Every structure is written in structure tokens, then in C-alpha cells.
Amino acid sequence: MTKSSNLDELFYELIESAEKSLSKTLSEYSKIYILNLLKKLTYNNELLNNEIIREKAIAEIFMEAFHQNIFEKVRLLKLAGDFSLILSGLYPDSIKNKLVSIDYYIKMGKSSYKELANTYGQYRSKLELMQLYLELKREFYKLVEILTEIADNINFINKDDLLYIKQNWEKTNIKKYKEILDKNKIIPI
């Protein structure tokens, strides 16, 4: 068995386990997309170390995309959507010291995927890509929940910062944050 197929199996099992735990089912489009995104993160950290991401806010990248040629527009919108998804779902603790909160990334990610769907919808030959990004936009919140579940399973969530956990739960209503609060006998008002 190759390294790639082992990763496929591992990530597929993590996604399936998270779906079962949350009693939610992703579309096949979303499942394959997130699996490939996780694999890409494993092989190279290009998404998280992207120069554009380090220099500009997501909203700035999103807005600049509309002033570019079609290829650059697609690249920037995909970058904004993928980064927002990974940050809000898999690395929520990295948002803690930012000026914006988790709900900002969720809104920007959904908007980016929606615009990608609109862009591809203009081309008959790209209808499958349009469908993919429509599904990602529709299921963005579910994807964040799935990634948050995975982040918890691999200990990416700092469960000691209960104020941050409470704030994330209030902004997103993600089940995992509520579970952490419940385990610590904290009832948010």
C-alpha cells in the first residue's frame, strides 16, 4: 500500500468518524474535496505558509480577486475559501489572537466558494466545478464542524481556554465547543 492510499484511508476514516459523531453527512463532492485538502496540508504546508495569506486579510484577497483575470480570480477565491475552511475548522485556536473571530472566517469561506461557483457557472464545460463549489458553500458550516471534530480527535483544540471555547460556541453553535463547556460544567448565558 502506498503512502498516499494510507493517508486517503486515514483521512477518510477521520471524516467518516466525525460524520457519525455529529450525525451529519457530507456530499461526495465535499468529502472528496476535504480529503484532498487534508492530504495537501500533509504533503506541503503551502496553504498555511502562503505569502498572500501572510500579507493580506482574507477580505482583501476576496475583493482583489474581482479585479483579476479569470485564472487569478479563481486562484485567489480558492485560496480565501480553503484557508478560511482550514483555519475555522482545523486550527480554531490560531484565530484566538486575531482581530476577527471564527464567524468572520466562516462567512468569508462561504462567500469565496459561492463566487467560485458563480464564476464556473458561466462556462458550460465547467458545470461540475460549479456544482463542487456550490456544495462547498452549502456545506461550509458542516465542513467546519467535521474539521473541528477532527481537530479535537488529534488534540488541536486547547480545551483549557474556556473563555475562547465559550466565545467560539456563541458565534458558531458548533457542537464540539458546547461539549467542552458541558464537560467543564459551564453553562453559557
- pLDDT at position 1 is 43
Measured in whole angstroms, how far is the alpha carbon of residue 98 from the centre of its chain?
17
Interatomic CA distance for residues 138 and 100, integer angstroms: 22
Average pLDDT, the chain: 92
- Cβ–Cβ under 8 Å, residues 116 and 71: no
- pLDDT at position 3 is 55
- Cβ–Cβ under 8 Å, residues 26 and 72: no
CA 148 to each of CA 54, 69, 117, 120: distance values in angstroms, whole numbers, following the listed order: 23, 34, 25, 29
Nearest 10 degrees: Cα torsion 164, 169, 114, 149: 90
Least confident of 127-131, 156-160, 167-171: 127-131
- Cβ–Cβ under 8 Å, residues 3 and 119: no
Q: Give the pLDDT band of residue 2 (cuts 50, 70, 90).
A: low
pTM score, two decimals? 0.88
- Cβ–Cβ under 8 Å, residues 130 and 117: yes
Q: Which residues contact 7 (CB under 8 A, 6 or more apart)?
A: 38, 39, 42
Interatomic CA distance for residues 188 and 93, integer angstroms: 19
Determine the 3-state secondary structure of 152 from DSSP: helix
Percentage of the chain beyond pLDDT 70 is: 97
Q: What residues does each domain of the chain span?
A: 3-158
Mean pLDDT over 14-27 rounds to 96
Mean pLDDT over 59-66 rounds to 97
Q: What is the pLDDT of residues 134-153, one digit of tens each?
A: 999 999 999 999 999 999 99
